[in-house]
Structure 1
Amino acid sequence: MKLYENQTLKIYNSLSGEKEVFKPIHEGNVGMYVCGPTVYSNVHLGNVRTFMSFDVIFRYFLHLGYKVRYVRNITDAGHLENDAEEGEDRIAKKARIEQLEPMEIVQRYTVDFHTILHKLNFLPPSIEPTATGHIIEQQEIIKKIIDNGFAYESNGSVYFDVVKFNETNHYGKLSGRNIEDMIANTRDLDGVSDKKNPQDFALWKKAEPQHIMRWPSPWGIGFPGWHLECTAMSTKYLGETFDIHGGGMDLKFPHHECEIAQNEACTGHSPVNFWMHANMLILNGKKMAKSTGNYILPNEIFSGENEILSKAFSPNVTRFFMLQAHYRSVLDFSNDAIVGSEKGFNRLMEGMELLDKLKTGSSSTLDILAWKKSCYEAMNDDFNTPILIAQLFEGIRFVNLINDGKETINENDLNELKATLKGFIFDVLGITNEQNANDNSGKLDGVVNLMIQMRNEARANKDFALSDQIRDQLLSVGIQLKDGKDGTSFSVN
């Protein structure tokens, strides 16, 4: 028997605005598509948070015994600056600035993306298609939409006719927007482009002479529209109708709204049963933005090389911090918040270290099955990781009580306690086992702090040669010292 047969999972559906009982289209199988990164820069923390939310969702489906096809794409063409209809391709612009081929940019930042996600213990998706690898599929969809009367060619480009589509369908149903209001707000833009209406969006764009990334098509040399790429890749691997489509809240409009319209115009029916959106991550109460300097990259958290945090934090602690907020809630990243998470994480790991040392008695004084049920109830309520984590701490409290001799547990209940804690912490939340790492980490801290003390004494005695030697030799084995106003800290690279 699969676990999912005894669980009632409810998911918040952005399309209905309600939590709905999840029933997959094909029993025992889940098809999930998540919009991946546009690979023109280092993956930022907000993106990581979105992908982590869906990593946990993927893990929980697997934990329940579902067979999951998880598709997460790489956007390597067609995504213009500011998510706009006109302007320069983000990747092509970065290639021009750095005097590289666009595919060199794609390769560099795809590798960075994978490296960061690997450090954070993400499971790889089942399929990771690229937009440039599906140009033919996109052109075939455009042909069908034109044949169905919902798109038109104009000066070498092809646009989706939003007004025509809205006569028989509802454009705006995901984001709650009204086409009449959109038209009223954009009347002043009429006549400035090849589009019939300002709301129309590109399915295929004519490539200007300076546009590097270009492909032949029935409508001329050009490149695909950003929204079309995800429609082609999701339906190719998951079918015309699939279970879940996810992404960040910022993609709800226009990206996901346009995906729905394209699918309905092509096939005559809606593509997805459950739309899921992860909320944003902010830094010190403000939106993250490179332009204001209010941002931090994942590697800067791991190394401690930043002006925002008091020290380095491991990928495990970073992951644990993010999962302490529900995926639909805004998450505020700050030094105090992640310091608090590290303390909680260490408490969790200390409890897990005790778990395998517990002794059993003839009977149990704790209701382990009721506690286990509460763990599943948390995840079954729209993947509520903060409530799950609270229940896991309750499980660790049981461990400490048993270890202190204040409660007893029989062998069956102890096995249930172990399996549940390990299953949710390691398999579902994706935390890696740091028991041994923590032991070694404590010893390493002691040795390095002793070396820092010796270096401080050398500096006080003006023995700068010895001071530099200590710093350089530590660096040669991957330990970097960082002098600050509060003393010297270190990070392990």
Structure 2
Amino acid sequence: MQLYQKQTLKVYNSLSGSKEVFEPLNEGYVGMYVCGPTVYSNVHLGNCRTFMSFDMIFRYLKHLGYKVRYVRNITDAGHLVDDAEDGEDKIAKKARLEKLEPMEVVQRYTLDFHTILEKFNFLPPSIEPTATGHIIEQIEIIKDILEKGYAYEANGSVYFDVIKFNETNEYGKLSGRKLEDMIANTRELTAQDEKKSPQDFALWKKAEPQHIMRWPSPWGDGFPGWHLECTAMSTKYLGETFDIHGGGMDLKFPHHECEIAQAEASNGNSPVKYWLHANMLTLNGKKMAKSTGNSLLPGEIFSGENDILSKAFSPSVVRFFMMQAHYTSILDMSNDALLASEKGYNRLLDALDLLKKLDTGSKTDFDVNAWQQKCYDAMNDDFNTPILIANLFEAVKHINLIKEGKETITQNDRENLQNILHNFIFEILGLERKNTAENGSGKLSGVVELLIQLRNEARVNKDFATSDKIRDELSALGIQLKDGKDGTTFNLH
């Protein structure tokens, strides 16, 4: 019997606005699609939080015994600046500014995306399709929608007819918006002249002569609409209706709303059973934005090369910090919050190491099985990682009481507790042990700490030549020292 047959998982479905018992379309199998990055810049922390939430969900579904096909795409064309209907493709714009071939931009930032996610210990998805690799499928869907009367051609572009669709379907049901209100609140824009209605969105855009990224189609050279790409890739690999579609809250409208409309217009089926949305990440109480300087890239956190944090933090500490909030709630990152997470992370792993060394007795003073079910209950309640972590620290408290001789545990229960903690900490939360998550092996860390100590002594003795020599020699070896109010930290390049 698989674990999913013993546990009742509930998920918050954005489509119904309520928690529902998770019952996949085919027992034992889960199809999950998550909107991936548009690869025109370094992946930012907000995106990482979204992808981390779905990595945790992927891990938990696998842990329960489901066979999961997880599809996360790469958007390498068709995503216009500011999610607009007109203007320049984000990747083409970057290519023009940097005088590169668009696919050079795609390659550079796809590699960055994979590198950062690997550092965060993400499991790779089952399939990672690209938008440019599915142009034919997108053209076929457009033909189908045109044939069914829910789209129209205008000057070499093809638009989805939202008003016509809404006559027999409900456009806006995911975001809770009414089409009449959208129409009333929309002012006509000159760029929308070729559309029948401002609400209509592009399925295919005609490429102007200067547009670099273009493909032949029955309507002339052009490129696909951003919304269409996800419909083509999700339905190709998961079927006309699949279990879970995930993404950030910011994608709910218009992106996911348009995906639903396209799929229903094309094949007549509602494409997704459960819509899951992860919330945003703020920094020091404000929205992250490059323009205001209130932004951090993951690599800047790992290296400590920034003006916002007092020291470098390992990927696992950042991951642990993110897991301490529910994936649907806004999470605020700050230096103090990361320092607190680092302490908690160390406490958790130290307790796990201590557990192996504890003496065992003839009885156990706390019910390990009941505690384990509390951990499952947390995860079964829409993947409630903060409650799970609170339960893990309850086990830490008992481990410390056993160490102090105030409680006892049998050998069997100790081994059981070790396995349970291992599963939840490493397999489900995706954390790594300190010696792999932090800077190299323990031996290297020890050597660098010794050199930091010698450098500190040199500075106290005003021997700045030696102090600078240690810093510079370590830097030449790719080990950067950073002096902060809490002492000196280091990071490997």
TM-score, with length taken from structure 1: 0.96
1:290 aligned partner: 290
1:453 matched to 2:456: yes
| TM-aligned CA distance change 1:28 to 1:172, over 3 Å | same
Other-structure match for 1:168: 168
Partner of 2:12, secondary structure, is: strand
SS at structure 2 position matched to 1:36: coil
SS of residue matched to 1:167: helix
Does the 8 A contact of 2:451 with 2:470 survive in 1?
no
Query: After superposition, what is the alpha-carbon deviation per residue over 1:30-74, rounded to whole angstroms, capped at 9, x for unaligned?
Result: 000000000000000000000000000000001001100000000
How well do the aligned residues superpose, as a CA RMSD in angstroms? 1.7
Deviation of residue 85 (structure 1)? 0.2
Distance 2:28 2:261 in 1: 29
1:212 aligns to what?
212
Assess if the C-alpha contact under 8 Å between 2:204 and 2:222 holds in 1. yes
**Residue in 2 that maps onto 1:127:** 127
Partner amino acid, structure 1, of 2:251: L
Partners of 2:376 and 2:73 in 1: how far apart? Answer: 30
8 Å CA contact 2:152–2:158 kept in 1: the answer is: yes
> Is contact 2:452-2:488 (8 Å) kept?
no
Q: Which runs of 5+ in 2 are unaligned?
A: none
Q: Aligned pair in 2 of structure 1 residues 441, 3: CA closer, same or farther (>3 Å)?
A: farther
Q: How many Å apart are 1:18 and its aligned residue?
A: 0.1
Look up the equivalent residue of 2:20 and give its one-letter code.
Answer: E
In structure 2, give the amino acid aligned to 1:446: E
- Aligned counterparts of 2:483 and 2:445: Cα–Cα separation in 1: 21
Q: Which residue of 1 aligns with 2:397?
A: 397
Q: Deviation at 1:482?
A: 3.1
Alpha-carbon distance change, 306 to 156 in structure 1, aligned in 2, over 3 angstroms: same
Query: Is the Cα contact below 8 Å between 1:349 and 1:435 reproduced in 2?
Result: no
Counterpart position of 2:51 = 51
With over 3 angstroms needed to count, the CA separation of the structure-2 counterparts of 1:26 and 1:436, relative to structure 1, is closer
Q: Identify if the C-alpha distance between structure 1 residues 490 and 369 changes in structure 2 by more than 3 Å, giving closer, same or farther.
A: same
Q: Does 1:252 align with 2:252?
A: yes
Measure how far apart 1:409 and its partner are: 1.6
Query: Which one-letter code corresponds to 2:449 in the other structure?
Result: G
Write out aligned runs for 1:208-287 (5 A).
Answer: 208-287=208-287
The CA deviation at 1:404 is 2.2
1:190–1:198: 8 Å Cα contact kept in structure 2? no
Q: Would you say the 8 A contact 2:310–2:485 is kept in 1?
A: no
1:15 aligns with 2:15: yes
1:78-101 deviation line (CA, Å, top 9, x unaligned): 000000000000000000000000
Q: Distance in 2 between matches of 1:176 and 1:313?
A: 40
User: What is the distance in 2 between the residues matched to 1:236 and 1:188?
Assistant: 36
Structure 2 CA distance for aligned equivalents of residues 432 and 276 of structure 1: 26
Q: What is the CA distance between 1:490 and its match in structure 2? A: 3.1
Cα distance change, pair 131–436 in 1 and its aligned pair in 2 (3 A): closer
Alignment equivalent of 1:443, drawn from 443, 446, 464: 446
Distance 1:190 1:41, change over 3 A: closer
Q: CA deviation at 1:414?
A: 1.8
Distance in 2 between residues matched to 1:273 and 1:425, nearest whole Å: 29
Equivalent residues in 2 for 1:90-489, closer than 5 Å? 90-189=90-189, 192-434=192-434, 440=443, 443-444=446-447, 446-457=449-460, 460-461=462-463, 464=465, 466-483=466-483, 489=489
What SS does the corresponding residue of 2:274 show, helix, strand or coil?
strand
The structure-2 alpha-carbon separation of the partners of 1:222 and 1:269, relative to structure 1 and needing over 3 Å to count, comes to: same
TM-score (norm 2): 0.96
Which stretch of structure 1 is more off in the superposition, 412-421 or 143-152? 412-421
Equivalent-residue separation in structure 2 for 1:455 and 1:138 (angstroms): 66
Post-superposition shift, 1:230? 0.1
- C-alpha separation in 1, matches of 2:187 and 2:44: 36
Aligned length: 490
Paired residues of 1:304 and 1:491 also in contact (CA < 8 A):
yes
Which range moves more in the overlay, 438-447 or 410-419? 438-447
Secondary structure of 2:245's partner?
Answer: strand
Other structure's SS at 2:217 match: coil
SS of residue matched to 2:86: coil
Deviation at 1:455, TM superposition (A): 4.3
Alignment check: 8 A CA contact 2:311 2:482 kept: no
| CA–CA distance in structure 2, aligned partners of residues 112 and 437 of structure 1 | 19
Distance 1:126 1:448 in 2: 44
Displacement, 1:12? Answer: 0.1
- Could you list the per-position Cα deviations for residues 407-452 of structure 1 after superposition, in whole angstroms to 9, with x for gaps in the alignment? 1222332222111100000000000122687854773463132132
> What is the identity percentage for the equivalent residue pairs of Structure 1 and Structure 2?
71
Give SS of 1:354's match. Answer: helix
